[in-house]
């Protein structure tokens, strides 16, 4: 049974029309230009905010980060703007992905078998795995709530004259914890989208993935966009040991 | 606002490693004693502070008291607070208190500051801001129990009383001490000032009938290098928000010194985790993959326990 979380529905907007996505034989369209643009703006500003924040977080270790941004005072000036830009682009991304990030009963089942996912004991994902798997959704929602915490606590620290010293002292701890959790998560994110699951980064660079990637990592999505059964497609590919030749042109 | 030439440094904000001057030379702890019972509210000390520190005058506003302005400012470090205080029997007392940085032995401002060298504590106890290193984050404002550091929005730096570290370094008393006409301000070593203060407090208790007279030198922050003689040391709040038990927020002590490094270590476990995952489990590759030649080490033979 296909759900709205199995398939990404998107009407091309002005940013999509600024670029293009070439889909070669044996590939499926995964992320349109708009999604990719937002993702990398998020990525750039996340790391700018992270590095400039580190210089203030543990200055006695990370003092070498502040000169990168023009010294301590400039780093302090820039950090909130990097953070706001990060939150701004992530907010657009959150709106873009709200439908496919909905939590479903399949996701709860996926979480119960997270051990098999980590130990790679199955060679392909469970057939219920849709456009994003439950791990990706968890990360997404962690970032959403992390951004809410960042903005509230960040504004309090930005304008201490208005909020007073006790609120600032509390905000400072929450802001740090939010950053630590997000940093912890990003290691997994970057690993899985590069070394951990080869072929994934292409989804965010060129915007396409191979059909084999799709039936391996997101079988329900594969089924929703091609109409074919992922297990059969895999069995057939095993027989021929080549990807199937006819790519459908839809998401 | 510093005088690094003559004063040795004991503590530096956000500084990696030990401090070069720490314990390297013998230096007496200094202290300013303010006897609120003999202050007449003449504001000579306010003028002396502005004069010596060459600060620009700014407009202020009248708020129905004799106080020069509602609070200290980045260019007004010393303010006599005028408090009209009602006793239980309905009579009034006019409590005047010279309000400025207390030069805490354990300074919350310094603990909160994330900029290397923006706040230093000299071995004589004076806490001094070094504006050239200040990044303008105002965490010191949040760390200070006395609401002392004040932000200048133009320079984006924070300023406060230096206890005239420049004068003290040259063997002089602070400017406010020199200007006081009643002798309610004293300056010397902490031991001497503590002795003088206790003497005066017992005189107030025994001779003048102030049974609760005492010395304000709060031990929650290790004592201060500015101490008060108060007519009523049991309720310092009556002297214009002087906290009975000043405290530094736990964010700038427990969180900053202990959990921050641990938290970072925890986040870095994510990095170690993914590297180890790749080493031990390897990637999940899209299927079908080329046929496996051999798995190393080979799995144990079926049916046998080892
Ligand atoms: C070098 C750094 C990064 C790389 C290589 C990377 C790569 C990717 C890739 C390939 C995808 C698509 C996954 C798929 O289609 O299933 C993706 C999705 C995503 N990215 Fe990134 N990304 C990076 C940094 C970031 C940062 C810094 C953030 C936010 C703080 C972020 C947030 C997301 C989110 C929320 C998704 C969707 C859910 C998910 O796949 O987890 N990414 N990223
Ligand atoms: S009174 Fe405030 S500014 Fe002065 S030393 Fe103490 S904490 Fe720092
Ligand atoms: S504003 Fe205060 S806490 Fe921040 S760098 Fe300057 S002196 Fe340090």
- How many Å apart are CA A144 and CA A87, to the nearest integer? 9
Please name the residue whose Cα sits nearest to atom 6 of ligand 3: B134
Residues B222-233 have pLDDT tens digits of: 999 999 999 999
How would residue B20 be classed by pLDDT, with cut points 50, 70 and 90? Answer: confident
Q: How far is the CA of B257 from the centre of ligand 3 (A)?
A: 17
Segment among A114-128, A184-198, B161-175 with least mean pLDDT: A114-128
Same domain, B32 and B145: yes
Same domain, B231 and B273: no
Mutate to test the pocket of ligand 1, among A6, A31, A39, A50 (most ligand atoms within 8 A of CB): A39
Q: What is the pLDDT of residue B59?
A: 82
The total number of structural domains that make up chain B = 2
- Cα-based angle B38, B224, B136 (whole degrees, multiple of 5): 110
Look at residue A228 and tell me whether its pLDDT is greater than 60. yes
Residues B24-45 have pLDDT tens digits of: 777 899 999 999 999 999 999 9
DSSP state of B254: I
Q: Is A209 left (phi over 0), alpha (psi -120 to 50) or beta?
A: beta
How would residue B64 be classed by pLDDT, with cut points 50, 70 and 90? Answer: confident
List of chain A residues whose C-beta atoms are within 8 Å of the C-beta of residue B270: 183-188
How would residue A39 be classed by pLDDT, with cut points 50, 70 and 90? Answer: very high
Q: What is the pLDDT of residue A122?
A: 85
Same domain, B213 and B186: yes
**Residue B265's domain spans which residues?**
249-283
Same domain, B29 and B76: yes
List of chain B residues whose C-beta atoms are within 8 Å of the C-beta of residue A57: 114, 260, 264
Question: Which of B200, B219, B247 delimits the end of a domain?
Answer: B247
Average pLDDT, stretch B269-293? 90
How would residue B304 be classed by pLDDT, with cut points 50, 70 and 90? Answer: low
Average pLDDT, stretch A142-166? 96
Q: Does B134 touch chain A (CB under 8 A)?
A: yes
Which residues, numbered 245 to 304 in chain B, qualify as contacts with chain A under a Cβ-Cβ cut-off of 8 Å?
249-252, 255, 260-261, 263-264, 266-267, 269-271, 273-274, 277-278, 281-288
Same domain, B56 and B172: yes
Same domain, B233 and B255: no
Order across the sheet with B127-129: list the strands: B9-12, B119-122, B127-129
Q: What is the pLDDT of residue A153?
A: 98
Question: Which of B231, B247, B263 delimits the end of a domain?
Answer: B247
Tell the residue number behind the tokens 């030379």, with chain if given: B25
Beta carbons of B8 and B120 less than 8 angstroms apart: no
* Contact at CB, B278 and A196, closer than 8 angstroms: yes
DSSP state of B303: T
Look at residue B297 and tell me whether its pLDDT is greater than 90. no
Task: State if residue B30 touches ligand 2 by the CB under 6 angstroms criterion.
Answer: no
Tokens representing A48 are 């700018």
Fold of A4-241: Fumarate Reductase Cytochrome B subunit (1.20.950)
* Contact at CB, B287 and A185, closer than 8 angstroms: no
Q: Which atom of ligand 2 lies closest to the CA of B147?
A: 2
Q: What is the pLDDT of residue B306?
A: 47
Q: What is the pLDDT of residue A5?
A: 82
Same domain, B259 and B213: no
Q: List, as one string, the DSSP characters of A153-206.
A: HHHHHH-HHHH-HHHHHHHHHHHHHHHHHHHHHHHHHHHIIIIISTT-HHHHHT
Average pLDDT, stretch B102-131? 96
Q: What is the pLDDT of residue B237?
A: 94
Average pLDDT, stretch A43-53? 97
Q: How far is the CA of B140 from the centre of ligand 3 (A)?
A: 5
Same domain, B227 and B96: yes
Q: What is the pLDDT of residue B1?
A: 45
Look at residue B299 and tell me whether its pLDDT is greater than 80. no
Average pLDDT, stretch B58-65? 82
- How many Å apart are CA B261 and CA B257, to the nearest integer? 7
Q: Which atom of ligand 2 lies closest to the CA of B143?
A: 7
Instruction: Tell me if B305 is assigned to some domain.
Output: no
Look at residue A194 and tell me whether its pLDDT is greater than 60. yes
- How many Å apart are CA B166 and CA B288, to the nearest integer? 77
Q: In Å, how far are A122, A188, B24, B175 from A193, measured between CA atoms?
A: 19, 8, 54, 65
- How many Å apart are CA A172 and CA A149, to the nearest integer? 11
Same domain, B93 and B120: yes
Q: What is the pLDDT of residue A238?
A: 87
Interface pTM (ipTM) of the complex? 0.88
Same domain, B219 and B267: no
- How many Å apart are CA A53 and CA A81, to the nearest integer? 11
Instruction: Tell me if B294 is assigned to some domain.
Output: no
Question: Which of B247, B263, B291 delimits the end of a domain?
Answer: B247
What separation, in Å, do the N-terminal and C-terminal C-alpha atoms of chain B show? 74
Query: Tell me, what CATH number does B40's domain have?
Result: 3.30.70.20
Q: What is the pLDDT of residue B25?
A: 77
Instruction: Tell me if B4 is assigned to some domain.
Output: no
Residues A156-168 have pLDDT tens digits of: 999 999 999 999 9
Same domain, B264 and B235: no
Look at residue B52 and tell me whether its pLDDT is greater than 90. yes
The count of other CB atoms within 10 Å of the CB of residue A25 is 10
Beta carbons of A210 and B286 less than 8 angstroms apart: yes
Same domain, B266 and B137: no
Q: What is the pLDDT of residue B19?
A: 87
Segment among A62-76, A133-147, A210-224, B49-63 with least mean pLDDT: B49-63
Q: Which atom of ligand 1 lies closest to the CA of A143?
A: 30
- Residue B81's nearest CA partner among B109, B43, B49, B113 is B43
Q: Is the dihedral of CA B286, B290, B291, B293 positive or negative?
A: negative
């Amino acid at each position: 049974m296909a759900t709205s979380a199995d398939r990404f529905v998107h009407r091309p907007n002005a940013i999509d029309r600024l670029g293009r996505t070439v889909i070669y034989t044996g590939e499926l369209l995964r992320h349109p230009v708009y999604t990719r643009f937002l993702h990398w703006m998020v990525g750039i500003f996340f790391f700018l905010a992270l590095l400039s924040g580190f210089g203030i977080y543990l200055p006695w270790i990370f003092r070498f980060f502040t000169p990168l941004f023009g010294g301590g005072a400039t780093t302090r000036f820039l950090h909130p703007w990097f953070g706001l830009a990060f939150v701004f682009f992530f907010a657009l991304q959150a709106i873009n992905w709200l439908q496919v990030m909905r939590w479903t009963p399949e996701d709860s089942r996926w979480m119960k078998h997270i051990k098999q996912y980590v130990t790679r004991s199955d060679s392909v994902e469970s057939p219920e795995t849709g456009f994003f798997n439950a791990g990706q959704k968890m990360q997404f929602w962690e970032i959403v709530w992390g951004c809410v915490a960042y903005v509230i606590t960040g504004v309090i620290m930005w304008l201490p004259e208005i909020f007073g010293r006790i609120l600032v002292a509390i905000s400072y701890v929450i802001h740090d914890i939010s950053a630590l959790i997000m940093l912890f998560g990003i290691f997994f994110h970057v690993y899985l989208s590069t070394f951990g699951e080869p072929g994934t980064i292409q989804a965010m660079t060129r915007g396409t993935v191979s059909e084999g990637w799709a039936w391996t990592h997101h079988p329900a999505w594969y089924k929703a966009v091609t109409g074919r059964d992922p297990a059969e497609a895999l069995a057939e590919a095993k027989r021929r040991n080549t990807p199937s030749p006819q790519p459908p042109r839809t998401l | 606002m510093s005088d690094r030439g003559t004063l040795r440094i004991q503590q530096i904000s956000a500084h990696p490693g030990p401090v070069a001057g720490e314990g390297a030379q013998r230096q007496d702890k200094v202290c300013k004693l303010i006897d609120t019972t003999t202050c007449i509210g003449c504001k000579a000390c306010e003028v002396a502070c502005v004069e010596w520190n060459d600060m620009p005058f700014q407009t202020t506003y009248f708020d129905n008291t004799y106080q020069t302005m509602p609070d200290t400012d980045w260019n007004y470090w010393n303010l006599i607070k005028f408090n009209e205080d009602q006793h239980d029997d309905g009579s009034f007392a006019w409590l005047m208190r010279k309000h400025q940085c207390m030069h805490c032995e354990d300074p919350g401002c310094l603990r909160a500051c994330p900029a290397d060298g923006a706040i230093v504590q000299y071995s004589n106890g004076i806490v001094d801001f070094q504006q050239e290193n200040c990044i303008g984050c105002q965490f010191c404002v949040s760390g200070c129990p006395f609401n002392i550091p004040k932000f200048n929005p133009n320079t984006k730096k924070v300023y406060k009383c230096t206890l005239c570290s420049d004068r003290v370094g040259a063997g002089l008393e602070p400017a406010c001490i020199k200007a006081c006409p009643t002798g309610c301000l004293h300056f010397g070593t902490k031991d001497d000032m503590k002795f003088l203060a206790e003497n005066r407090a017992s005189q107030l208790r025994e001779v003048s009938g102030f049974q609760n007279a005492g010395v304000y030198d709060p031990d929650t922050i290790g004592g201060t290098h500015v101490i008060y003689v108060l007519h009523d040391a049991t309720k310092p709040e009556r002297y214009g928000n002087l906290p009975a038990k000043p405290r530094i927020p736990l964010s700038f002590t427990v969180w900053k010194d202990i959990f921050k490094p641990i938290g970072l270590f925890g986040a870095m476990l994510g990095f170690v985790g993914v590297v180890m995952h790749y080493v031990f489990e390897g990637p999940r590759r899209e299927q079908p993959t080329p046929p496996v030649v051999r798995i190393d080490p080979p799995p144990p033979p079926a049916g046998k326990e080892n």
